[in-house]
Amino acid sequence: MFLLIENKMIVPNMYQAVISAPEIAAAAQAGQFVIIRPTEESERIPLSLSDWDAARGTVSVVYMIVGKTTGQLAALVAGANVATVAGPLGNPMEMGHFGHVACIGGCYGIASIYPVARQLKALGNRVSIIVEARSSYLLFWQQKLKSVCDELVVITRDGSKGLTGHINSLPAIFTKLPLPVDRAIINGCNYLMMRGSEETRPLGIRTIVSLNTLMIDGTGMCGVCRCTVGGATKFACVDGPHFDGHEVNWDEVTRRRQAYLREELQPLRSSAGEFANLEQG
Ligand code: FES
């Protein structure tokens, strides 16, 4: 059992959980993830580590409610126990002195790009962080992000903050940055990473994505996270989750990610139905 220190909504439908997990906090590296089971009866969900504090023995994850299990996690209050937190899992993000790195995040990727940018900056890279959201009310961690980069660029689709645009504005944004981009790292939903990779491909910029696949064990045993990268079969949990975005078979990733969509939505539909019945009754 792992003590939940904090679990709060930071923007609509997006939560930040801080969990006591000293061994994971002591070993965590940028780009790794944990597998969480909110209760003994819950399914297992992979969540990227957004931050950690080895001295306090805590790890932070930012997650969106997309189905039953994330809903169960959001329902836990500070002081409750989380049944399972396994990790740190996956390979750390490749680190080095790459020059000018654009760290791009959308949705929960706004949080998971933070430790990556922090370490790249500490290693002496020039770091530009680009965050993308539908509207300004979906942005979070802006001060925290600013503290680990040379410039923070905000894009909103409705123009309520920063530049008006979408992930397909990346080439135009890159031309506005003080230096050419040597490497792009994109975190967020698979669509954002796929589109971002398509934008950087003609520019010849090496682009690393952190795949969101279904996972069960997270240790290479079940095969659920299978994907194809550069024509070869990979397991996102042990071979990744970071891959060259220009080499990923995105059609397959999208298809496999949606394999259980109907089952994932069923509990939400049932609750909505119960709610409607209550209202009518
Ligand atoms: Fe089971 Fe990757 S999650 S092999």
Structural domain spans, the chain? 2-89, 93-185
Whether the per-residue pLDDT at 274 is higher than 60: the answer is no
Q: Which fold has domain 93-185?
A: Rossmann fold (3.40.50)
**Cα–Cα distance for residue pair 256/126, rounded to 1 Å:** 36
Question: From the alpha carbon of 213, which atom of ligand 1 is closest?
Answer: 3
**Residue 104's CB: how many other CB atoms inside 10 A?**
30
Burial class (CB in 10 A: 0-12, 13-18, 19+), 275: exposed
Please say whether the structural domain 2-89 has been given the CATH code 2.40.30.10: yes
The dihedral region occupied by 236, where left means phi > 0, alpha psi between -120 and 50, and beta the remainder, is alpha
Q: Of 219, 229, 184, 220, which Cα lies nearest the Cα of 202?
A: 184
**Cα–Cα distance for residue pair 155/131, rounded to 1 Å:** 6
Ligand 1 first shell, C-beta below 6 A: 215-218, 220-225, 235, 237
Is the distance from CB of 14 to CB of 41 less than 8 angstroms? no
Structure tokens at 213: 């696949």
Ligand 1 centroid distance, CA of 7 (Å)? 27
Residue located nearest, by CA, to atom 4 of ligand 1: 220
Tens of pLDDT, residues 43-65: 999 999 999 999 999 999 999 99
Which band of pLDDT confidence, cut at 50, 70 and 90, is reported for residue 259?
Answer: confident
Ligand 1 centroid distance, CA of 234 (Å)? 10
Tens of pLDDT, residues 3-16: 999 999 999 999 99
Tens of pLDDT, residues 195-238: 999 999 999 999 999 999 999 999 999 999 999 999 999 999 99
Residue located nearest, by CA, to atom 1 of ligand 1: 222
Residue 251 makes CB contacts below 8 A (sequence gap 6+) with none
